[in-house]
Amino acid sequence: MSDVINLANKFNLFQEPWHPKIVGKLNDSYVKLAKLKGEFVWHHHDNEDELFLVVKGTLVIKLRDRDLTIHEGEFAIIPKGVEHLPVAEEEVQVLLLEPKSTSNTGNVQNERTVEAEWI
């Protein structure tokens, strides 16, 4: 069944940063929305690539050799195995496209590790 998803309406349903929400399924991947603010944790994903599409704000993804600055309407794909640190000086709204098996903290398990939930 096809539905139209309004991103602004979905972003209004939650406030907590770094807690991805699932809004769709595409083959073996989830479409997730997340609000980001502050610094996350250095991590990588052993088996999954990760797409970050910035809907609102500016996101910096620190890599070990450089920084990626992603503005509204831009996206970056972080390949599997690449260590990265997302940083959002101000609140950023992102759409994530990643395999269903992807943990938000990748190879790191700590208090920031959460299961994405449907909204």
Is the pLDDT confidence value at 105 over 70?
A: no
Q: What would the pLDDT profile of 2-30 be if each residue is shown by its tens digit?
A: 789 999 999 999 999 999 999 999 999 99
Residue 105 identity (one-letter amino acid): T
The model's confidence at residue 99, banded by pLDDT at 50, 70 and 90, is: confident
pLDDT of 24:
94
H or E stretch covering 10: helix 7-11
Instruction: Provide the 8-state DSSP code for 80.
Output: T
Of 92, 32, 104, nearest in space to 59 by CA: 92
112 pLDDT above the threshold of 70: no
Q: What domains lie within the chain, and their CATH numbers?
A: 7-100 (2.60.120.10)
Are the C-beta atoms of 33 and 11 separated by less than 8 Å? yes
Beta-ladder partners of 64? none
**pLDDT value of residue 96:** 94
- pLDDT tens digits, 39-66: 998 988 888 899 999 999 999 999 999 9
What rounded mean pLDDT belongs to the chain?
90
Q: Does 38 score more than 90 pLDDT?
A: yes
